[in-house]
Amino acid sequence: MRIILLGAPGAGKGSVGRPLSSQLEIPVISTGDIFRSNISGRTKLGLTAKGYMDRGELVPDGLTVSIVEDRIAQSDCAKGFILDGFPRNTFQASELDRILEKANLKIDLVLNVHLSDERIIQRLSSRMVCSSCGESYNRMSKDTSMPGICDLCGGRVSVREDDAPETVRKRLETYYLQTMPLIDFYRERGILSTIDNDCTIEEGSKRALEAVRNALPDHMSGHGRL
């Protein structure tokens, strides 16, 4: 199954994506995580991406599209994948169509993860992220067991630089201008499903799984793991 997670920054795409990935046994491809790991590895790509990310802007399409194209072609994506943070504008969406058409593949479901601006700003102001595995924590609702140490991998957990209030405002603006039009783009194709994510992480992942079930052809959802 091939899934796109759509939603504003901080709406909870990552928290919804991780459990889906383990239940469906397909990888999550997060362009933001790929950029961040390149920033910590001090690669040329990381250096380029950092400037845009710190300003709350999109990294140029050419770079982003070729990263996704290479990643999708890897063998662990053969059974499917979950795209988190891509596509983020209509150009990236048409490029994704082009890439998938070449391989005779298609997107099965676009999961639109919805949260109000007010809740997004609240959540991002208390968010902490593991710099090694990307797991999210929250000082208010889901703290680490040991201060600053990731429960999953022992990595360092800290505030993301682009979660500073000024940058969050800019990221939301970028979302409304460039990414939100994709909601209609995919709704018109009949593959959009929206979940309200103003709930616990467990409830959000239940809602997501339900949307996945509804998108599966009948013969696949009736029995088996799902």
* Active-site position among 36, 88, 123, 207: 88
Q: Which stretch binds Zn ion (CB under 5 A): 111-119, 149-157, 195-203, 218-226?
A: 149-157
Residue pair 69/100 in contact (Cβ under 8 Å)? The answer is no
12 binds ligand ADP (CB under 6 A): no
Question: 53 touches which of Zn ion, ligand ADP, none (CB within 5 to 8 A by kind)?
Answer: ligand ADP
Contact between 115 and 135 (Cβ < 8 Å): no
- Spatial distance between the Cα atoms of 34 and 83, rounded to a whole number of angstroms: 12
C-alpha distance from residue 60 to each of 36, 50, 174, 211 (Å): 15, 11, 13, 31
Name the catalytic one among 2, 13, 50, 207.
Answer: 13
Return the number of the residue (170 or 216) whose C-beta is nearest ligand ADP: 170
Residues 76-115 that bind ligand ADP (CB under 6 A): 85-86, 88, 92
Q: Residue 204: phi, psi to the nearest 5?
A: -60, -40
- Site for Zn ion (CB under 5 A): which residue of 26, 36, 93, 135? 135
Query: Binding ligand ADP by CB under 6 A: which of 32, 71, 150, 197?
Result: 32
Q: 119 an active-site residue?
A: no
Task: Provide the minimum distance between the beta carbon of 171 and ligand ADP in the complex, in angstroms, as a whole number.
Answer: 5
Q: Which of 52, 114, 132, 198 binds ligand ADP (CB under 6 A)?
A: 52
Check 55, 142, 156, 160 and give the catalytic one: 160
Closest to ligand ADP by CB, 87 or 211 = 87
* CA angle 161–89–33, rounded 5-degree value: 35
Residue 3: exposed, middle, or buried by beta-carbon count in 10 A (0-12, 13-18, 19+)?
buried
**Residue 130 binds to Zn ion (criterion: CB under 5 A):** yes
Rounded-to-integer distance, Cα 49 and Cα 162, Å: 12
CB of 163 to ligand ADP, least distance (A): 8
What is the C-alpha to C-alpha distance for residues 48 and 26, in angstroms, rounded to an integer? Answer: 29
Catalytic residues: 13, 88, 127, 160, 171
